[in-house]
Structure 1
């Protein structure tokens, strides 16, 4: 989408011709995400039986200490809509379709690290480009939480304890490139599936885990009057997209017609029907994880 890259919610002068599938930048008036869902406080009902819980038979392990967080210099960059700084670790489970059920919402400026007790590389603010920021938790380790990194592909950022709220995430979106299918899951069960159009050759929709970053009104009639979801992912090859789309994010949106559904015709975005997009906008909150795979081993069965 041809927006000013330094101000991702201001249109660039001139639009890419209709019919070219475009990527999405959030607008300055990006609508605030749905209200955060409180973290569940229900106790764990699982019963774990010990073979012989006597002092002589229980293995005595020293309690693991939480690695301290190194002070973050004031001059570190703040993560925003521009590409994330280098140095963050790869997501080792990026193709895993296990639902991510918790998210992190910063309540103040917090540092993002390359490992528990590692180097601080950047800061997260409570909002990113005007939208309340929620990132799915991909891993936990000794008191630290790893979240999916926005404005980057297949990368994690580690957060020290404190400075954020943990929120429940009930939904997940899985996109299968080979069969051009998007499936919406709730609590691990498939709810609905829609046919999609995806990235063309050289501008393929990026594989791996990302998440719904936020929503924006459609900037032109080609979007069929339906709001757009911007994702945390970006083009794998930024130089391959049209010049007016450099610095853009991958988007989930509809189009003015459905003629190209089931084909690879976009600049990397994920297109669905207007009715499908409206349903996702109504039901799926920002922070929800989205995984792009080639194809699931077992086709989803909808509820």
Structure 2
């Protein structure tokens, strides 16, 4: 795919790349806005949330990953209201407003199941609630896998793509569930990213995060897909696009808006442990290559200020 945009003094470029389905899927071409920073700043300025999103705050409940998704035992299924055909579809652009907040946005408990829509699914604001939009089987041509966050009254809540700290509720049917073994936890205060598998910390890396005013968004999100490196500054290593977007879309230059927060590397490691990106998470090339090899799309990513105790690998 081609490179579109302009290169200024800081080297900003708007790139349209592609995603890959993951370890077992084929490459699919998509139009994804990726923002490439200059020598001092790097990151994607991504699809802004529609309206100001409430910023999640750390609490004493933040903890290292331990268990699975909350489930209610009651099997009474709340009926689903018919969804009008004119509802918007959830894609790479800002998610429609009206979806509920994620009440466990800073919980680092592993989310061990994912949902893969098999057809267009109506997404609601709660069990038996109001339909807001349609969740599609793909986003920008890439198969969609979204982590399961909660279950209630026979319904399933998933992390909403293209939004921060929001849930979408799905009635039964029309999707498959898959196992999610991997998880990424990012701590903003110690500038640390830790990869977990089956709840066990495997590796940790020092990272660079969002500069002041463009901080890396707190809360739960997930790996949406991957895109090839658009410029040599990425060191030839693919980039992860996440489901999250900047908390403040006005904090980035107007020409750099319209992309998602990402995980990527850089051509040097001199800025690790600093706030130098536009919200993205930047780690070493070897770390990024390992994540790309081991962590498939749909895997949950949680950003907190800090965990109560350091992870065993840190």
TM-score by length of 2: 0.81
Q: Is 1:161 the counterpart of 2:172 in the alignment?
A: yes
Map of 2:181 onto structure 1: 170
More deviation, 104-113/242-251? 242-251
Please report how far the alpha carbon of residue 244 of structure 1 lies from its aligned counterpart in structure 2 after TM superposition.
2.5
- 2:16 and 2:229 mapped to 1: Cα distance? 10
How much is the aligned-residue C-alpha RMSD, in angstroms?
Answer: 2.0
Q: Deviations over 1:229-282 (max 9, x none)?
A: 000000000110122221211000001111100000000000000000000000
Equivalent position to 2:5, from 13, 29, 38: 13
- 1:132 and 1:83 mapped to 2: Cα distance? 18
Query: What are the residue-to-residue correspondences of 1:196-235 with 2, within 5 Å?
Result: 196-235=207-246
Contact 1:109 1:125 in 2 (8 A): yes
Map of 2:22 onto structure 1: 33
Q: Which has the higher strand share?
A: 2
* 3-state DSSP of counterpart to 1:234: coil
- 2:99 and 2:213 mapped to 1: Cα distance? 25
Give 5+ residue unaligned stretches, structure 1.
1-8, 37-61
Larger radius of gyration: 1
Please report how far the alpha carbon of residue 16 of structure 1 lies from its aligned counterpart in structure 2 after TM superposition.
5.6
Contact 2:2 2:15 in 1 (8 A): no
Contact 1:174 1:183 in 2 (8 A): yes
* 3-state DSSP of counterpart to 2:19: coil
Query: What are the residue-to-residue correspondences of 1:1-303 with 2, within 5 Å?
Result: 11-15=3-7, 27=17, 29-35=18-24, 64-302=75-313
Please report how far the alpha carbon of residue 32 of structure 1 lies from its aligned counterpart in structure 2 after TM superposition.
1.8
**How many matched pairs?**
267
* 3-state DSSP of counterpart to 1:96: coil
- 2:264 and 2:20 mapped to 1: Cα distance? 15
- 1:284 and 1:232 mapped to 2: Cα distance? 15
Please report how far the alpha carbon of residue 15 of structure 1 lies from its aligned counterpart in structure 2 after TM superposition.
3.7
Contact 2:4 2:15 in 1 (8 A): no
TM-score by length of 1: 0.84
Please report how far the alpha carbon of residue 17 of structure 1 lies from its aligned counterpart in structure 2 after TM superposition.
5.3
